[in-house]
Structure 1
Amino acid sequence: MLIKIGELATRTGATVETIRYYEKEKLLPEPARSQGNYRLYREAHIERLQFILHCRTLDMTLDEVRTLLQYWDKPEENCDEVNVLLDEHIEAVKIRMEESAQLKQHLLVLRQKCASAAPAKSCGILNALADNSCHHS
């Protein structure tokens, strides 16, 4: 069964632009072409694109996805590196969560600088944002 790019997009929830981008990045193999030069995709393209999209929903980088695809393409190989990659990704997510918590705290402190409506020139939030000395890293 061969399908065109629009059908692949519909079946996977990806955009046509995303599919073309993943082809350009060599994450998806080059599809066959029709006589009218339309891209023609196979079932393997659907499965691979769904794999890529699932990885991306887990906030994995294209390089991480590329590495995982190398193992997916060689199912007989040992998957120790996959475990290492996922452990590193989990650690990166943990760090981002901590950074987000700090950001939230900074925003809460900033929000307290203006308790009620006031002219913009006396807005505590705007004045604090303009004052670089109040920024906490």
Structure 2
Amino acid sequence: MIRLEHINLVVKDITASLNFYQSVFPEWKVRDSGSAEWSGKPRDWVHFGDDSTFLTLNNNAETVARDLLGHQAGIAHFAFEINNIKALQQRLEAAGFQHRTRGEDNPFRHNIYYIDPDGNEVEFVQYFSDLFEERNSTV
């Protein structure tokens, strides 16, 4: 078995990041938090998630995220499968976040992209089929 357990993000402001991700995942909670040193620099950290999956937010960011329109190495975006994309959009808009773009029209999935407070692009996808050939189609 292989599954993604967590994503470790370096952020400028943990509170701002938590505001975004709490809007995305209202059922998640802060699992743990603390202070540590990373490569000689102090940082605060938070584990935000459920019992099996979480985000680690670390507050020692010194630069902005990679240019999403550029060709630098790094993560272009990461995605979460959700079961109600409309409810997610309503929660994020109520928290003051506007989507960046939507995926192409597809009868088997809807997806929408947001930029988190640190410039990371996050995709959310809702599938309308259990068949992988339909989920992955480019119809």
TM-score (norm 1): 0.25
Say which structure is richer in helix: 1
TM-score (norm 2): 0.24
- State the structure with more CA Rg: 1
Q: Which of 1 and 2 has higher RCO (CA within 8 Å, sep 6+)?
A: 2
Say which structure is richer in strand: 2
